[in-house]
Structure 1
Amino acid sequence: MPVLGVLLLAAHFLRFGDTGLAIALAGVSGLCFTRLAWGRIVCATVLFLGSFLWIQTGIDFVQIRMAVGQPWIRLAVIMSAVCGFSLAGAWLLSTDKAAARFSTGRTFAWSQAVTFALTSGGLWLCHAMPKKMTLLLADRFFPGSGAVEIFIIACYAAWLCGLLIDKRTQRKARSYAWAFFSFVFFAQLALGLAGVSTFLMTGALHLPVPALIVAGPLFRGSGFFMLILFSISVLLVGPAWCSHLCYIGAWDDRMGRVRNGKTGRLPAWAPKVRIGLALVVFGLAFSMGLTGVPVAVAGGLAALFGLVGVGIMLFISRKQKMMVHCSAYCPLGVVSNLLGKLSPWRLRFSDTCTKCGACAAVCRYNAISFERLTAGSPSFSCSLCRDCTAVCRHGAAEVRFFGIGAPWVTHLFVVLATSLHAIFLGVARM
C-alpha cells in the first residue's frame, strides 16, 4: 500500500508534465523495499503530505466541474478515497510491525530523516530559482530533472548523517566526505577551464582562494553574495565551516593524514601569525580597492598568496601531521572563528576529563593542549570537527548548544552540518 500510494503521487506529477519530480517520487517509493529506518519515516511523511495534495486537487477539480455544470459527487468520492489511501499508507508505516521491519539504523533514524528533509528543502529552493539562475547541474543539462538530483543528494546526506553521528565512523566519514566535496568542486572548475562553461556558476572564472570570500568584496566594494552565504553558514554551525564546508581545507586535511602517527604541535606564536596575516590581507585588499590598483595586480597577489598556502600544505602540514595551513595561515579561518563566537555551538571538556591526551593526539587544528583541557575548552583555532569527541573514552569532550550538552545536541549539530555539506555539494562551484 505505501509503495502504491507514493507511485500514485508520482503518476499525478507525471500527468502534469513534471517528469523529474515523478522519477524522484518513484525513488522515494523504492525506499519502502529497503530496511532503512529513516526511509520509513521519509515515505510516511511523503504520503502524509501527499494527502493534502489530493485534498487540494480534489477541491480544484470539483470547483471546475461545478463551474461548468457537470456532475461532481463521484469525483469527490474518488479523490477522498485516494486521499484516504495515502493516509492509510502513512499510518501503516507508523505501526510497530513496520518499525520492526525497517530496523537498520534505528538509533539515528529521525536525525537522518530530518537531514533528508532539510537537504531536499534547501536544494528545492535552488531548483525553484528563475531559469537565468539555474543552480543545479541536472537542470542545466536536462531541464526539469533537478528533482532527481535533489533526491540522490538527499539520500547521500541521510546516509552520511548516520556515519557522522556514530563515534565509530565519524572521523573517517567526515574526512572522506569533505575530500569528496572538494573533488567535486575542483572537478567542475577543471571542466570549466577546459571550456565547458555549464560547470561554472556564472560562466566567469574566479580564483579559488578562500580568503577572497572576504578580500574580494573589500577590494571591489561589491559582490557580497559569497560573504553573506559564508556568514549565514558560520552562524548556523559555527567554525565547523572550516572542517566541513571549505573546499581548500580538505586538501590540508588530506596532507595532514599522509603520514601516520601523533599530530605535531605548533609554536605558541603561530596562531597569532594567522591573525596578523588576516589583518594584513584584508587591510591590503581594502586599501588596493581605494587606491585603484588594477585587478590584474590584485589577482596576481591573490594567486601568489594561494600558492604559498598550497606549499604550506605540501611541505609543512605533511611533516607536522596536522593542518598548518588552516590553523596558522588561512585568514578566512580567523573570520570563521570570530563569527563562530556568535553561534550557539561550543566544544567543552567536562569534569570527567582525565587529561589522558587522546583528544590532543588527533586534533589537527592545534586547538587542544594540557592547559586547554584544564581550562575546559579548546583554543581559538578549534573548528568543531569533533575528532576529539570520537576518541574520548570518558565522554568528556562534547559539543554544547547554548551550554547544554546532550545526545540530541550532537544529533542537531550533525544534522545542520551534514545538510549544509550536501546542499553545498549540489550548488557550490566557481
Structure 2
Amino acid sequence: MTPPTSSPPRTTLRTTICTLGALTPPTLSCLLLAAHYLRSGDLGMVAVCLALPGLFFLRRAWVRPVLQAAFAAGMAVWVLAMMDLIQFRQVVGLPWLRLALILGSVAVVTGAGALFLETRVLRERFSRRPEAALVQSGAFLLTVCALALAQAKVSFPILLGDRFFPGFGALQILGMGLYAAWIAGKLTNPERAPLARARMWLFFSVIFFGQLALGLAGWERFLMTGDLHLPVPALILAGPIYRGEGFFMLILFLSTVLLVGPAWCSHLCYIGAWDHQAALRTKRPQTLPSWAFPARLAIFALIMLTALGLRLLDVHWTWAVALAAGFGLAGVGIMAAISRKMGVMAHCTVFCPVGLAAVVLGRLLPWRLRINQDCDACGRCARVCRYGALEPGHLANRKPGLSCTLCGDCIHRCRDNRLSYGFARLSPTTSRHLFILLITVLHAVFLATARI
C-alpha cells in the first residue's frame, strides 16, 4: 500500500502564510503605481511597476534595499501628484480635501511597502549572499539613476529601448540595473571574478562592434548620432588635437580615469578585450623587453605630434582617416602576432597611447594595487598578469609596474591574501567593494549608451 501523503509541517505552512501576507502590501504598492502610470499613458513605467514584484523570487539580500528605494521613490511620486492636483483644484476653486486624503493614503500604503520589507519574515526571505548585498544594491541603484539622468538630459533617444519602442526606455533601465547587480555579485566572488571580468569585458566589445556592424548595414538607429567615427582608441586623444573639437570621448575617458584610475584598460576599452583574448592563448606570459617602455613613450609622442602636424598643415580629413585606420590595423596585427605569442597584452602595454595616458593619469589618484611587505615573491600572481606589471623586480620592491591597470586577476591568485586593492585609508575589503561598485556601474552604463 502507498503510504498516505503527509501534510506539510505546520511551521512551513505558517511561514508561507506570513511571507504571502508580508508581500501583499509591496505588491499592492506596485499595482497602484502601475495604475498611476497607466492613467498618464506612460506604458514603459507601467511595465516596470508590473515587473518589480518579480524580484520577490530572487531571494538575494540586495533585493530588499532596492525594493525599499523603489517604494520610497513611489511614495514621492504620489506626494508630488497629490500636490500638483491640490494646487490645480485650488486655482479653479474646486474642493481638494477628499483628494488629499485619498492620495495621501495611497502614498502611505506605498511607503508601507518599504516598511514591510523590514519584517523578520522578509529579512529571512531575502538573506542569500548578504556579504555582497551592499555592492549589488548600490550597483543597481547607481546604474538606474545614471541611465535615468542620461535619458532625461540628452536631447535625443540615447537608449535603444526608446529608439525601437518609444517610451519603453525605462524597462531597459530596469534591465540594466538587474544586469549590474548580477555582474557585481560575480565580481565579489573571488573564485569567479577573473572569468567574470573577462566575459563582461568581451561581451561589451561584442555589443559595441555588433552595433557598429548593424549601423554600417543601414540600421542607423544603432548609431548614437548617425555620424560614424573610427573605433580606434588612439583617436580619443589624437582626434580632438586634429579637429579642435569633438571632446565627448575624451571627457568620457577622463571621467572614468577620475573614478577608477587606469581600469579603463582592463574593463572598459572596446579594443582591449581583443588583446586580452589574444594574450590568453599563451598560458604563461613572457617578460616584456627592456625597450618596451621607451618604445611606448615614442609611439605616444609620434601620434600626438602627427595629429598636431596634420592640423597645422591643414591636411584633408581623408588622409587623417587613412592614417588612423592604418594605425588601428597595425594594432590588430600586434595582437595577432605578438600578444598571442608572448601571452602579454603588447597592444595595450606598448602600442596604445590611450593606455599610457590611463596608467600615468591613474597615478594621480589614490587607487593602488598594494603588495604587502610579507610577500614572499612566489610568482603566482605574475603568472596571470597580462600587463607585465608584476615582474620579479616589481615584487621585490613591493610596488607593481606602471603598466598595472587594476584588473584584479592577481589578487584572486595570491594564496595568502598579500595583494589587495587600496584606496586612500580604506581597508582592503572596503576598497575592493568600492572598486567593484564603480567599475560595474561604468560597465553597465557604457553597455547601454556607448555606441559609435
Which of 176, 182, 191 aligns to 1:153? It is 176
- 1:49 and 2:73 aligned: yes
Distance 1:94 1:360, change over 3 A: same
Q: Which runs of 5+ in 1 are unaligned?
A: none
Q: Which runs of 5+ in 2 are unaligned?
A: 1-24
The answer on whether the counterparts of 1:2 and 1:32 sit within 8 Å (CA) in structure 2 is no
Write the deviation string for residues 71-97 of structure 1: whole angstroms up to 9, x where unpaired. Answer: 433322222221221122101112332
Which of 66, 70, 83 aligns to 2:107? It is 83
How far 1:403 moved relative to its partner? 4.5
Instruction: In structure 1, give the amino acid aligned to 2:397.
Output: A
The answer on whether the counterparts of 1:346 and 1:403 sit within 8 Å (CA) in structure 2 is no
Displacement over 6 Å in runs of 4+: none
Write the deviation string for residues 342-370 of structure 1: whole angstroms up to 9, x where unpaired. Answer: 22211110123221111111000011112
Residue 210 of structure 2 corresponds to which residue in structure 1? 187
Instruction: In structure 2, give the amino acid aligned to 1:44.
Output: Q
The answer on whether the counterparts of 2:287 and 2:391 sit within 8 Å (CA) in structure 1 is no
Residue 59 of structure 1 corresponds to which residue in structure 2? 83
- 1:378 and 2:408 aligned: no
Residue 177 of structure 1 corresponds to which residue in structure 2? 200
What secondary structure does 2:62 align onto? helix
- 1:247 and 2:270 aligned: yes
Provide the rounded CA distance (Å) in 2 between the counterparts of 1:279 and 1:209. Answer: 17
Instruction: In structure 1, give the amino acid aligned to 2:422.
Output: R
The answer on whether the counterparts of 1:277 and 1:331 sit within 8 Å (CA) in structure 2 is yes
What secondary structure does 1:365 align onto? coil
Residue 220 of structure 1 corresponds to which residue in structure 2? 243
Provide the rounded CA distance (Å) in 2 between the counterparts of 1:379 and 1:370. Answer: 10
Distance 1:96 1:356, change over 3 A: farther
State which drifts further: 95-104 or 200-209: 95-104
Query: What do you get for the CA RMSD once the two structures are aligned?
Result: 1.4
Provide the rounded CA distance (Å) in 1 between the counterparts of 2:438 and 2:297. Answer: 28
- 1:274 and 2:296 aligned: yes
Provide the rounded CA distance (Å) in 1 between the counterparts of 2:123 and 2:334. Answer: 51
Instruction: In structure 2, give the amino acid aligned to 1:350.
Output: N
Residue 427 of structure 1 corresponds to which residue in structure 2? 449
Instruction: In structure 2, give the amino acid aligned to 1:422.
Output: A
- Percent of counterpart pairs with the same letter? 47
Instruction: In structure 2, give the amino acid aligned to 1:16.
Output: S
Instruction: In structure 1, give the amino acid aligned to 2:378.
Output: C
Residue 284 of structure 2 corresponds to which residue in structure 1? 262
How far 1:324 moved relative to its partner? 1.2
What secondary structure does 1:347 align onto? strand
Write the deviation string for residues 277-296 of structure 1: whole angstroms up to 9, x where unpaired. Answer: 01111111111111111211
Distance 1:14 1:271, change over 3 A: farther
How far 1:127 moved relative to its partner? 1.2
Instruction: In structure 2, give the amino acid aligned to 1:250.
Output: A
How far 1:381 moved relative to its partner? 0.5
Aligned residues: 428
After TM superposition, the score normalised by the length of structure 2 is 0.92
- 1:312 and 2:341 aligned: no
Provide the rounded CA distance (Å) in 2 between the counterparts of 1:343 and 1:423. Answer: 22
Residue 259 of structure 2 corresponds to which residue in structure 1? 236
Provide the rounded CA distance (Å) in 2 between the counterparts of 1:215 and 1:11. Answer: 52
How far 1:130 moved relative to its partner? 4.7
Provide the rounded CA distance (Å) in 1 between the counterparts of 2:91 and 2:245. Answer: 53
Provide the rounded CA distance (Å) in 1 between the counterparts of 2:304 and 2:318. Answer: 17
How far 1:61 moved relative to its partner? 2.3
Distance 1:33 1:74, change over 3 A: farther
- 1:29 and 2:76 aligned: no
The answer on whether the counterparts of 1:234 and 1:340 sit within 8 Å (CA) in structure 2 is yes
- 1:39 and 2:78 aligned: no
Write the deviation string for residues 35-79 of structure 1: whole angstroms up to 9, x where unpaired. Answer: 122122111111122222222222222333344443433322222
- Larger C-alpha radius of gyration, 1 or 2? 2
Write the deviation string for residues 269-317 of structure 1: whole angstroms up to 9, x where unpaired. Answer: 2122112101111111111111111211111111111111101111211
